[in-house]
Chain A
């Protein structure tokens, strides 16, 4: 990471954010979200994005409605971005294949760029962190990552459900077999990011809890150490990771804060969303503000693909025929591909809702003035899916949009690497997810032209970034 003396413009915006985060002073959860110490602060070089935000929807898209027409005219899926006047701040990329493995088992490899490996029980999982987490660690000089991960799920409006959810499409990984779950309940996400909005503090004082936490964390670490001496090698690694997380929480207890700011204190969002659509909007708004307020360096949003919560509120006359009792995944299977016109129309309606959520995310960021540009201008926001064409069930021709700061690449255009970017089946000579990840890493000042495994791949892939 470079610390150039001439990055004053960037720093001015940054300091405003730090002030914003400090609005959380004396509030619950403060210690867990504030920066451990100033020495770890991420100071991007001039022109570099300050934060990474990834928007993910599972199971691909109706690609012919995603690929821009000539003249960068948007189809149904990106029309909400154009309607928001933000097409000029986006770069649409098509013709990039996921090179490690295709289909559902390949989803975790899209951003890790490594194959799944079997553990001693024969259960497969990624062994490495995904690119978002590598960037998050880099932004903390290798210290604990500052992430904020949310998603809309079938159970987002079921307050009796667990608030952290895994699902069948596990995209974000913080390490070996360590999946990053998403917060699915809006009120939990708000409490995590903006504790001032809880309204009903259950703690007598924050101090008492902090005091308890210090002792409890010390005690739990002592017990972990005792246990580690009596377990197998693989379990020892497991317990060591657990201990690392406890130490990261402990480290954050001693964090200092800066004076409060009105901007980030109380977003007054709808805490009790009763529909999936509303829950998704609140989660998107919370993510955008949390990122602008420097709650985290890396943020993610997932529209879970399997459940009705990912689309159940969308009204379209072809939905009943398309689904017929199937869930999202089953309906894509049944439709197979765009040969079923009614299914194409129904999925286009659902994917257009995904597009509207992405548009909302970047619009919210663009509304935050950071002096020398908007929060969007200072963010690298990426929309990606695990599949290209959903019915094809394959990971060629992934849909990718980069908004805000594309690491220096020009915006307001479409870069296509495929003969037919809407086809479920690309050519093996097209660039891959490795190249995309290298582009992301380079955008954040991480040098090198490789990321992941270039040997155990289903299609050949060359080193280097995407040619953007």
Chain B
């Protein structure tokens, strides 16, 4: 009995820090519509800074709590600086570009933390006076856990008072609902946004700081917490602070008890709970259906036209160059070009759901890595030949996308994107934690093509055939009635609904098709590299794909190919340098600030005229 009470209390205390992070994320998103990927980094910085402050402050009865508060304030300040100097310039840029800027911050903070605090995991200090344990019917719970259990509801109450009883809170709620109208009523939202950013970052920092005595600090905290925070926001209901608490408690309890059932991965349980909640209440436990945005509708995407004669000629020349390449290129270059082709196929599948489908996936690596792992597992355990593997792996990935997609298409926009990221992170953690089967961090090795294709040149032709074929098939889909319907779904859900088209089914189908082709790319990747590691499924891989698509431009079909070539080259060049994540992050930010309307978009529109048929 005591054991169960202690597990319950442990779950509640875990929930506290989760709640702090999730409600900060939710507040910031509500007002600014920015999905702040760096929120998890703020949480991590909160933990590191708290360790630093508690270490440096003179010992006393309060130095622990003062350290925690100082760290939260410092993180709030960092958030404010990010808002004032970076995000404020970007409010009119497309959502995805802002997302990239915040992901750039994630990379920068990641490398800076490694540099400042070291790569070693840090064990947190204990709170003075709260370092012993309480005996509950024979089981023990740390006193500090009880303190955490009390903190979260107090903060919930404080936030509730702030949001309902102060003018600031009323303005924040008004801006969350309708920014333009709030503006027209004379409210200068600049300071409102900045203060919300401060509060949200403060809460993230506080979340990281208070969990220090329990979990310490490490460099994986940032992306681990952000996926959990997305799940909490989705489960609790967007913009609902009490919902965030409720969801945090559910997830916290789930982790506390789930560990008894599924010691390998409690994230599987998180997946199940999220699934059940989304089936019963698509807008989350305490969420309401989103009011339609009043902001001016985004500029319509440029119309995708079938290839002109000139473009077809250009394509044929391109194809000829690819066929002739093995005659001039060395093995290393061939492998690099094969890799580019694989990424181009994966990008094309992402573009397929993002561009015509209008569904942004933050977790496309789940299908690329999924295909790769399905292939690797089949070869490793069943010794299937390459040909069969390359046929089955995409199909299995398609099934995975079918399952994940069903949940994702229940939502739309940013919420859909959050969900894809959460699912991808769950897939990653299964692969990462289930070491007995997947090899965990060590990956799966020695997976080579069949004998006839083991020559790099032959494998090059095989990969090119499959990739170009896949890209052309995806392209063909865009010009079928199915593709037209998909674009109609993107442009006006309401109108599509009223002429009797089942929007969700089309989106679901598109999602699964994209999964199949990403899975094919992943399967080929395993045979190209001969091995597979969980990194191929990680969040940063998903963002690589997104970045490739954005680099190439969302409005053109050649975009994914150009983007993957440019990105793979860039990555190959800088990843040999120390602190390369810092450089990559800075490049993200500079590109987004310099070209808020899209990089290839601006170049592409200039090039476009050369490929148009003469009138």
Instruction: Say whether A associates with B.
Output: no
